[in-house]
Amino acid sequence: MAAAGEVADFSPQRRRKYLKPGRRPLAFFSHRGLNMAALRKPRSAYDRRLHRRRLRTRRKRIIKGKTWTTVRRATRRYFLFRPDEHREVENLFWYCLAVAANKHGIRVHAAVLMSTHIHLVYTDVRGVQPDFKRDFHRTFAQGIKALLGWPEEVFNKYLKGEHEPLTADALIDDIAYLVANPVSAFAVRYAKDWPGAKTLPGDIGRRVVKATRPDGYFDPENPDWPDHAQLRLEMPSQLTAAYGEQAARARIAERVRDYERAAHTEAKAEGIAFRGTRRCQRVPHTARAKSWELFGKVNPRFKAGGNLSAALAAIEEAREFETDYDAALTRWTAGDRRVVFPHGTWWMRVHHGARVAPRPRRRPPPS
C-alpha cells in the first residue's frame, strides 16, 4: 500500500480502493497534485466538515508589519526564469519587484530568482500583501511572456508557499535558505556564483538594486512604469533589535555556510555534479525540472525556529481567528451586515466592506 501522499498507481481499481466508502480519504493524490479524495461526495457530518475544510481556500490574516517568506513556482516546473547571458530576466525581475514594492510600501529583505521559482523575504508595512503579490506577479509574468514569447500561463496556480517567521532565529534561517538555494539545488557550488538575481549576506541593509524599464510589455508613456527603478534590501527590524545589523549579517553568513556544506556533502555522497554557471545560462526555458518530489506535503503557516512557545502561541491565535471568522461569516450570510470580523480579515473587508475589529493588545514577543 502506498504511503500517505505517495503516487503509486493510477488505475481505476486502485482509485476505487482508496475512495471506498468508510475509508478515511487522506492518502491518494493524482498526477496533477489534487487530492482526489477531497472531491468525493461527503456521506456523514464528519465528512462534510472535512470536505469543506479541504476545498476552502486558506484564510489569510493580513496584519500591518508582518514579515513573510514566500515562494512562487513556474508552471509545470519549466525553466522560465533561468538566468540568461544578457541578464534580461534578472533586470525584469528586479524592475517588477522594485516597482511593486515601492508602490505598496513593502520592505524587501532578500530575494532570489531561481530557474523555476521565486524566493522572497519581506515585511508588509501597510498590510497590503495580497495587492503587492498581485501586481508583482502579474507584471513579472507579462514581462516573461513578452521576453520569451511564452504563450501560456507563467505561474503554477496551485502550489503557493508562504509562511510567517515567528522568531529572529527562524527569520535568519529563512534568509540563509533563500541565499543558499542555488547551492541546495546543485546549480552552483557557492551562492555567490549564481548568475541570476540573488542576495548575499553582505547585501542586506546595504545594497541598492537598480533596474531599467524592460522593452516590450511596459509602455514608456505610462507613468506607472518609470525609466529606472531602485530597491533597497533592508535589514529586518527584528534582527536589528535582536542582534544588531553587523551581528545579524554574520549569523546569516554562518547559516549560509552550513547550507553550502550540507549540499557539498550530499553531492559527494550521491555522486551529484553541480551544474555550473555556464550550463545554468544555456539551459532552454522550455526544459523542465526532473527532480522527484512528494505530492501533498505540508505547507506550513509559521516557522518558529525551534521555539515551542512561539509556535503554540501562533497556533492558538490562528485557531481563535478561524473560530471568530466562522461565527462572523455565519451571521453575515444570514443577513447581518453589522457583524464585526476578527482583526486581520482581508477579503471580506476589502471586497465586501465588512467591519473588522481593531488590533488587539500586542502580546510580548517570544524570546
User: Hey, how many other C-beta atoms are within 10 angstroms of the C-beta on 213?
Assistant: 19
| pLDDT score at 52 | 56
| pLDDT score at 35 | 45
| pLDDT score at 22 | 44
The answer to whether residue 31 sits within a structural domain is yes
The answer to whether residue 366 sits within a structural domain is no
All cell numbers assigned to 328: 462572523
Spatial distance between the Cα atoms of 172 and 303, rounded to a whole number of angstroms? 11
Spatial distance between the Cα atoms of 96 and 146, rounded to a whole number of angstroms? 14
Q: Go through 56-94 and write b for each residue having 16 or more CB atoms within 10 A of its CB, e for each that does not.
A: eeebebbeeebbbbbbbbbbebbbbbbbbeeebbbbbbb
The verdict on 329 and 281 lying in the same domain is: no
Whether 281 and 83 have beta carbons less than 8 Å apart is answered as: yes
Expressed in angstroms, the distance from the first to the final Cα of the chain is 44
Spatial distance between the Cα atoms of 290 and 212, rounded to a whole number of angstroms? 34
The domain tally of the chain equals 3
The verdict on 267 and 285 lying in the same domain is: yes
| pLDDT score at 4 | 40
The continuous run of DSSP H or E covering 329 comes out as helix 308-333
Which residue in 203, 205, 204, 223 sits closest to 213, CA to CA? Answer: 223
User: Last residue of some domain: 262, 284, 303?
Assistant: 303
| pLDDT score at 272 | 94
The answer to whether residue 148 sits within a structural domain is yes
Q: What is the pTM of this model?
A: 0.84
DSSP summary character for residue 192: G
User: Last residue of some domain: 278, 303, 328?
Assistant: 303
All cell numbers assigned to 135: 501586481
| pLDDT score at 364 | 55
The answer to whether residue 51 sits within a structural domain is yes
Pairing of strands 155-165, 302-303: parallel
| pLDDT score at 47 | 57
The verdict on 155 and 225 lying in the same domain is: yes
The verdict on 257 and 184 lying in the same domain is: yes
| pLDDT score at 290 | 83
Q: Per-10-residue mean pLDDT for the chain, 367 residues long? A: 40 42 38 43 58 63 96 95 96 98 98 97 97 97 96 88 95 98 97 98 98 94 96 98 97 98 96 95 93 71 93 94 94 96 95 92 56
The verdict on 194 and 336 lying in the same domain is: no
| pLDDT score at 21 | 44
Spatial distance between the Cα atoms of 205 and 211, rounded to a whole number of angstroms? 18
Spatial distance between the Cα atoms of 172 and 179, rounded to a whole number of angstroms? 11
The verdict on 324 and 217 lying in the same domain is: no
Whether 263 and 183 have beta carbons less than 8 Å apart is answered as: yes
CATH number where 71 lies: 3.30.70.1290
The verdict on 140 and 288 lying in the same domain is: yes
Spatial distance between the Cα atoms of 304 and 169, rounded to a whole number of angstroms? 8
The answer to whether residue 117 sits within a structural domain is yes
Full residue range of the structural domain in which residue 224 is found: 66-303
Cα angle 309, 314, 316; round to 5: 95
The answer to whether residue 168 sits within a structural domain is yes
DSSP summary character for residue 200: -
Helices (H), 105-191: 129-148, 168-184
The verdict on 111 and 235 lying in the same domain is: yes
The verdict on 19 and 168 lying in the same domain is: no
The answer to whether residue 61 sits within a structural domain is no
| pLDDT score at 159 | 73
The verdict on 44 and 91 lying in the same domain is: no
Burial class (CB in 10 A: 0-12, 13-18, 19+), 227: exposed
Spatial distance between the Cα atoms of 116 and 94, rounded to a whole number of angstroms? 16
The answer to whether residue 365 sits within a structural domain is no
The verdict on 166 and 296 lying in the same domain is: yes
The verdict on 28 and 123 lying in the same domain is: no
Which residue in 367, 136, 365 sits closest to 231, CA to CA? Answer: 136
* C-alpha dist (Å) from residue 177 to 28, 86, 204, 251, 338: 30, 27, 14, 12, 45
